[in-house]
Structure 1
Amino acid sequence: MKDALFGGVNAAVLTAMREDFSPDLDRMAAHAKWLLANGCNGLGILGTTGEANSFSTAERKAILEGLIARGVPASTMMPGAGVSSITETVELTQHARAQGCRGVLLLPPFYYKNPSDDGIFAFFDEVAKRVGGGIALYLYNFPQQSAVPFSLSVIGRLLDAHPGVFKGVKDSSGDYANMKAMIDAFASRGFEVYSGSDEFLQKILAEGGAGCITAASNGNSHWGGIVYAKRTGAEADAAQAMLTATRKAATSVALIPGLREIIARSTGDAGWRTIRPPHLPLSKADADKAWAAWEAAGALPLPGLMKQAAE
């Protein structure tokens, strides 16, 4: 897809924390800059991998402002702004717009289960009206976590009601047929479809999708950048094979603490292991398992990361 606002590889960025569980913005900003220098076109901050729902509205605002103050370009960031409250979703979205972000990622209202399509439409219709434009709204389809999927019908109604406002979707369902259905139905209207699964990057680009927004990009973005740049050919195929292998490695243990372990060992910075409850750091056995899986994939050492850490 041409002219996608966040076209390419976007990391679902880990949120660094101090021992008291407060955000460590210096550490996080350094990681974000490394990602942008090593294959990432953009950054999905405060999503699932960034533990957004473990942070308050005030903390989310402070994280975004702190990253910008430390030199992470606002234009590269797509903050997660979707919560179950219309008013806070609007507040976070307007805040992101005021900081210069081009788009936000919106979970559906996820507490009440089995809402009707009419209810989901009404929620996002109200959000769009209150936000008032000036920033792209991206839907976050992750039914395994939210238990509230986005149907094609709801997406179509939102595009009809708010042309140019609902700009795309991150589909973390793992169901490529669902991603392809969204592309087939809406790509001609400029709707950007991003895979939440690394193994689909090459395929979704070939079939009219915009790219990916993925957790494993915290460690495999170097190869994602090759796939996005080359698309086809031996080098792209080999890089896609690495994305698939590292995705499998990342999911061999609990995903978020597992990625923290990989970054901690790669940089020699144990602070990356700090994670807010209810998440917990990996056990020694699982930490060793995660590292062994990334080694077996051939990904370690992560390109440029030890150099970045030393600096």
Structure 2
Amino acid sequence: MKDALFGGVNAAVLTAMRPDLSPDPARMADHAKWLLANGCNGLGVLGTTGEANSFGLHERKQILEGLVANGVSAATMMPGTGTASLADTVELTLHAKAQGCRGVLVLPPFYYKNPSDDGLFAYFSEVIQRVGGGIALYLYNFPQQSAVPFSLDLIGRLLKAYPGAVKGVKDSSGDYANMKAMIDAFAKDGFEVYSGSDEYVQRILAEGGAGCITAASNANSHWGGIVYAKRTGAEADAAQAVLTATRKAATSVALIPGLREIIARSTGDDGWRTIRPPHLKLSQAQADAVWKAWEVAGALPLPGLGVKAAAE
């Protein structure tokens, strides 16, 4: 897809924390800069992998402001701003716009289950009208987590009612048929479809999607960048095989602490293991297993990071 605002590989960036569990934007910014230098075209900050819903409203603003202050271009970032509260969603979206972000990723209101399409349309209508333009909204379809999926009918209604306001979707459902249906229905009008699953990157690009926003891109972005640049051929196929294998490795343990373990060992920075409850650090056996799985996938050492000895 041409002219996609976030076309290519976008990492769902881990949020660095201090020992007291407060956000550490400076360390997070270092990681973000490494990602942009190693295959990423953009950064999905404060999403599921970034533990956004474990942070308060003011903390989320602090993280975004801290990233900008530490030299991460706001234009590269797509912050998650969707909450269960209409007012908070609007406030976070306006804040992202004020920082210079070009787009935000918006969960549906997820506390009340089984809302109707009419109810969701009313919610997003209020968000769009209160934000007032100047920043693109990307829908976050993750029904396994939110329990609130986006139907094709709802997306079509929003696109018709608010041309240009809703720019695309991150589909983390893992259902490629659903991603393809969105591409077939809306990509011709510039709607950007991003896979939340690494195994579909090459395929979604070939079929008119815009790219990916994935958790494993925190550590496999080098190979994602190859797939995005080459698209087809032996080099792209080999890189896609690494993406698929690393996705499997990443999900062999709890995803977020597992990715923190890979970055912690690769950088020699134990602070990356710090995580907010209810998430927990991996056991030593789990940590060793996920590291071995990434090795078997052919992704270690991570380009540009260097590796501290696995035995710590």
TM-score bucket of the superposed structures, by smaller chain:
over 0.9
Report the 3-state secondary structure (helix = DSSP H, G, I; strand = E; otherwise coil) of the residue aligned with 1:305: coil
Structure 1 counterpart of 2:195? 195
Instruction: Give secondary structure in 2 for the equivalent of 1:279.
Output: coil
Aligned residue identity for 1:191: F
Counterpart of 1:116, as a letter, is: S
Q: 3-state SS of the aligned residue for 1:306?
A: coil
What is residue 233 of structure 2 aligned with on the other side?
Answer: 233
Cα offset for 1:136?
0.1
SS at match of 2:30: helix
TM-score, structure 1 as length reference: 0.98
Supply the distance in 2 between the matched residues of 1:62 and 1:24 (Cα, whole angstroms).
10
Q: Equivalents in 1 of 2:250, 2:15: separation in Å?
A: 17
**SS of residue matched to 1:164:** coil
Q: Report sequence identity in percent.
A: 83
Amino acid corresponding to residue 82 of structure 1 in structure 2: G
CA distance in 2, matches of 1:34, 1:88: 31
Q: What TM-score do the two structures reach when normalised by structure 2?
A: 0.98
What is the aligned-residue RMSD (CA, Å)?
A: 0.6
CA deviations on 1:149-195 (whole Å, 9 max, x unpaired) are 00000000000110001000000000000000000000011100000
Gaps of 5+ in 1: none
1:267-306 → structure 2 map (5 Å cutoff): 267-306=267-306
- For residue 160 of structure 1, what is the aligned residue in structure 2? 160
Aligned-partner residue type, residue 153 of structure 1: D
- Tell me how far 1:51 sits from its aligned partner: 0.1
The 5 A counterparts of 1:85-234 are: 85-234=85-234
> What is the identity, as a one-letter code, of the residue corresponding to 1:12?
A
Cα distance per residue 1:183-209 (max 9 Å; x no partner): 000001110000000000000000000
Once residues 205 and 16 of structure 2 are traced to their aligned partners in structure 1, the CA distance between those partners, rounded to angstroms, is 31
Q: Could you list the runs of 5+ residues in structure 2 that have no partner in the other structure?
A: 308-312
Question: Distance in 1 between the 2:2 and 2:87 partners?
Answer: 33
Query: How many positions carry a matched residue from both structures?
Result: 307
1:126 and 1:23 mapped to 2: Cα distance? 30
Alpha-carbon distance, 1:306 to partner: 1.9
Task: Please give the alpha-carbon distance, in whole angstroms, between the structure 1 residues aligned to 2:31 and 2:252.
Answer: 23
- String of CA shifts for 1:89-136, please: whole Å, max 9, x gaps: 000000000000000000000000000111111100110000000000
Looking at structure 1, the residues matched to 52 and 306 of structure 2 have their Cα atoms a distance apart, in angstroms, of 27
| Aligned structure 1 segments of 4 or more residues deviating by more than 6 angstroms | none
d(CA) in 1 for partners of 2:267, 2:306: 5
Task: Describe the superposition over 1:21-52 as per-residue Cα deviations: whole angstroms up to 9, x where unpaired.
Answer: 00111110000000000000000000000000
CA distance in 2, matches of 1:234, 1:295: 21
Q: Which amino acid aligns with 1:123?
A: Y
